[in-house]
Structure 1
Amino acid sequence: MPAGPLTGRIRVPGDKSISHRALMLAGLAVGRSRISGLLEGEDVLTTATAMRALGATVERDGADWIVDGIGVGTLLQPDAALDMGNSGTSARLLMGIIASHGITAALTGDASLSRRPMARVIEPLGLMGAHFTPSPGGTLPLMIEGLQPAVPLTYRLPVPSAQVKSAILLAALNTPGTTTVIEPVATRDHTERMLRAFGVAVDAETVDVEMHLSLTGPADLSPCDITVPGDPSAAAFFAVAATIVPGSDLVIENVGLNPGRSGLYRVLDEMGAAIDLQDRREIGGEPVADLQVRHAPLRGVTIDPAIVPSMIDEFPALFVAAAFATGTTITSGLDELRVKESDRLGTMAQALRAIGARVGEHADGLAIEGSGGRPLAGGGPIEVRHDHRIAMSMAVAACASEAGIEVDDISCIATSFPGFAALLDRATGEPPPSPSGTTS
């Protein structure tokens, strides 16, 4: 039977993207920074461990984290390889930091991360003078030899990528002269916002609809206290669940709504979702609100590829919402989902078909014919391919399925959202899923 409605008030963990950047920039500042609301998932803790290896002091202090930074230009040579685990953000942004320092580092990762491409970061950092020795195919494990002083550059992103943009800006911190990144399509701007919070000037100018971001180095970072808002990607799963389960009326508190991250909520609104933004405010320069989400019938839409960068991580959740809509939802421009923790297009198409949805797959997107609000059959077992967002999406779909959904593994969820199962249990009143078994 479908799960009970999602009700009450919940709070999701801190924003993953902001948590990574808070640790990195605090580690590059001179002095002590305090971080509140840090996401304590495995990926973010990977960043904390790496910053310690590069010379920063990073310690938990009650509910907060204290970072004593080592300063730009003075990173230490790590004693051993830096293990990035499953975190692509850790790997790509740390490559940027190391690229303009005179140290050599080896970066390794788990089997999933070691399949993900790094060439898009290696290219611009190589132009700044860093030398890379990657594995065949431009993947981890790799060696990076930084250059100090590095060479400033002007670089136009060939494809929208906040991680590539951020890696270049982080490298620019210890690079004499002005480095400029040109974005044909704007991406999430957490790095620029947080650099300014740490006292670094990042100039932004729109030139013929393109965004030009410039940073002049070397730049010193002043320590500051950071409050991390709730992760909109984590909130997305609960917003979709409350939308598709009849009788739901759920408030998700303290959700970050950076314009570069809130595309999912704009699409859900277009589909007919009932999401009310309450108590809008700013925390640490980031827009935040409480989301009241009620059950509502959805309609299929054709999603404009221009919105893709602002919701790239939320498409697995969106695909679940589309499976319950009336009509067909069509997506395109999602090539990047082929090279995430899994091939998220192929994996989600296969998973949704297995639980009773009608899904067409093409090279850069999916076409999902919705059930008109009727519960899906459920079933399984579903292979989530060690992908935390696939596992959480299937847990959401299980809330509106007839027979529950069996998945092969939910332990991967700990990389980004420890406590997800318990929070879903609290919202629905249903027992949490076991590490391998039925979710419902």
Structure 2
Amino acid sequence: MNRTFHQAKGISGEIQPPASVSALLKATLLSLFAKGETTIENTPKCGAAEELFSFVQRSFGAITRQGGSCIVQGSGGFSDPSLPAAIENIPSAETLELIAPLFFRKGVRISGNASSITGRFRNALKKLSASGFSFEFKEQDNAFQLEIIPSSPESLECAIDHPDETMKTICLFAAMAAASGQNRIIETTPLPGETEAIAQKFGAIITVQKQGASYEESEQEHEQDHGNELERRIRRIQKQKAAESDEKSMRIITVREQPVLTAAHFTLTGGAVCAAPFLLAATLCGHSTVTVKGISSGCAPFIHVLRRMGGRLQTEKHKDSDRFDCQVSSAPLAGRRFSGELMAGIGELFPFVCVAAAYATGQTIIRDADFLRQGPMDLFTGTLKNLRTMGVKTGEIEDGIVIEGAREYDGAEFDACGHPAIAMAFSVAAIKNQGESTLVNAEAVDQYWPDFYFQFENLVRNVE
């Protein structure tokens, strides 16, 4: 399906994006191993969610739908005999990556199409094997078979050398399910804490220790009153000293042996990928003001990026909740350098950062982004392809990209490349550029938000 866009003179209004598919996947899979019934409210109505629910019902027979909620009946433990001995036709690479490590205590045979096996998952299996987990993996023609062998390594220590949230989640799930004693996962670049927070709701015994400064600290400062010039100067000196020191920012996640998970209750919040196009469009398109409501903390890194580039975004946290609202107004942007922990938090929001950089004054340098090539889709290459189609001056570097910003571009033909984030990010570029633009394979958004184009165009004011 192709979609045609015309230049907009602005966007305005309020929008509440649907919940995070990533959070839904993690909560649903963990609930299968918990004791009792887990209720998940505000589930997204999209292709990815429907595929997940169908898989759970087919393989576990443990899910009930009630309006916008689902109830999952847990098995009661990672070695419960009611768990399936074999699983077939897993709906996505992401589901395969997260369900497999949860069976290391009981064991399971998983088979399916070899296209579900990503480079990231192969690397994760090697890392788990080196840590003492056992499995047998076979590929023939277009099919694979993965035999998870019951194994329980003691005092696991696993280092995540690259900023990959999915790799961290795979190792964390394996440690929760099967490792004995006290286990550590060391993130050399601190990653978002969504997985840990979800697991802790099920009673998982997880503690997190952070070393070194992080972008989150500067983001908290942004919310404070900066009226005192002396305090601002002191903070700048402190940041400069921290940057010059040898102390490297890192996170250490400690996971204790988990006898059983307990059922939990979740109300999912607005997903970062679905919130990002509205934050970006309101920033780039003149005379815009948009309020995005009920956003999850997963969007905080992107908000931080836009603020560092000069964006005008004000956030307000909901009481007794991790949700927040964000009001954003149009503003000129300036190029910046982004790397490390911040890029680890950006993850699949990478296309939105690149589109913002395309319109910023000066040069934007993005480092530590090579992990985005390793997922089910090459998010890095797809984004770069569309930037060049638009006429953006770009240059690839070893682990990232350099983008030379400009104020105006003509319309172009973009390709969603099968990824919702690319489709949404270049929908924003399409309404910013002069003339007419076309988005090819626009149906990619259906995986996260089938109603996206209707909601997006409802807020757009076209140039007359």
Q: Following the alignment from structure 1 to structure 2, what is the Cα–Cα distance between the partners of residues 341 and 79?
A: 23
Q: Equivalent of 1:383, from 402, 410, 415?
A: 415
Who is 2:454 aligned against? 422
Please name the residue that 2:221 is paired with.
Answer: none
Measured in 1, the distance between the counterparts of 2:142 and 2:264 equals 33
Alpha-carbon deviations, 1:47-91, whole Å to 9, x = none?
Answer: 334433442511210121111111222252255513233xx4312
Matching residue of 1:393: 425
Q: How does 1:238-387 map to 2 (within 5 A)?
A: 238-258=278-298, 262-283=300-321, 287-372=322-407, 374=408, 376-380=409-413, 382-387=414-419
Q: Give yes or no for contact 1:303–1:331 (8 Å, CA) kept in 2.
A: yes
1:27-426 equivalence runs, <5 A: 27-55=32-60, 57-72=62-77, 73-74=79-80, 76-77=83-84, 81-85=88-92, 88-108=93-113, 111=115, 113-114=116-117, 116-126=119-129, 127-135=131-139, 141-152=143-154, 153-175=156-178, 176-206=180-210, 210-258=250-298, 262-283=300-321, 287-372=322-407, 374=408, 376-380=409-413, 382-426=414-458
Contact kept? 2:87, 2:108, Cα under 8 Å: no
User: CA contact under 8 A between 1:200 and 1:219: conserved in structure 2?
Assistant: no
In the superposition, relative to structure 1, how do residues 206 and 255 fare at CA in structure 2: closer, same or farther (>3 Å)?
closer
| Identity score, percent | 21
TM-score, normalization by structure 1: 0.87
* Contact 1:130–1:144 (CA under 8 A) maintained in structure 2: no
Shift, 1:256, TM fit: 0.9
Question: Displaced runs of 4+ in structure 1, greater than 4 A?
Answer: 113-116, 206-209
Per-residue CA deviations over 1:246-279 (Å, capped at 9, x if unaligned) read 1110000001125xx5221111101010111024
Letter in 2 for 1:377: D
Q: 1:379 and 1:160 mapped to 2: Cα distance?
A: 32
Distance 1:107 1:71, change over 3 A: farther
Flag structure 1 segments of 5+ consecutive residues without an equivalent.
Answer: 431-440
Q: Write the distance in 2 (CA, Å) between the matches of 1:100 and 1:142.
A: 21
What CA distance in whole angstroms lies between the structure 2 residues aligned with 1:20 and 1:216?
Answer: 23
Give the whole-Å Cα distance in 2 for the aligned partners of 1:94 and 1:45. Answer: 17
CA distances 1:253-312 after superposition (whole Å, capped 9, x unpaired) = 001125xx52211111010101110244453xxx32101011111111122333110102
Residues 115 and 203 from structure 1, CA distance in 2 versus in 1: closer, same or farther, beyond 3 angstroms?
closer
**Is the Cα contact below 8 Å between 2:293 and 2:324 reproduced in 1?**
yes
2:372 counterpart SS class: helix
Question: TM (normalized to structure 2)?
Answer: 0.83
Q: Is the 8 A contact 1:355 1:405 kept in 2?
A: no
1:249 alignment partner AA: T
| Gap change, CA 1:312 and 1:65, over 3 Å in 2 | same
Question: Greater relative contact order: 1 or 2 (C-alpha under 8 angstroms, separation 6 or more)?
Answer: 2
What secondary structure does 1:117 align onto?
helix
Quick one: structure 1 residues 32 and 58, their matched pair in 2 at CA, closer, same or farther if it must change by over 3 Å? Answer: same
Letter in 1 for 2:165: A
In structure 2, what is the Cα distance between the partners aligned to 1:326 and 1:312? 24
Gap change, CA 1:339 and 1:218, over 3 Å in 2? closer
CA pair 121-107 structure 1, distance change in 2 beyond 3 A: farther
Unaligned ranges ≥5, structure 2: 1-5, 212-246
Relative distance call for 1:227 and 1:428 in structure 2 (3 A) is same
Structure with higher helix content: 2
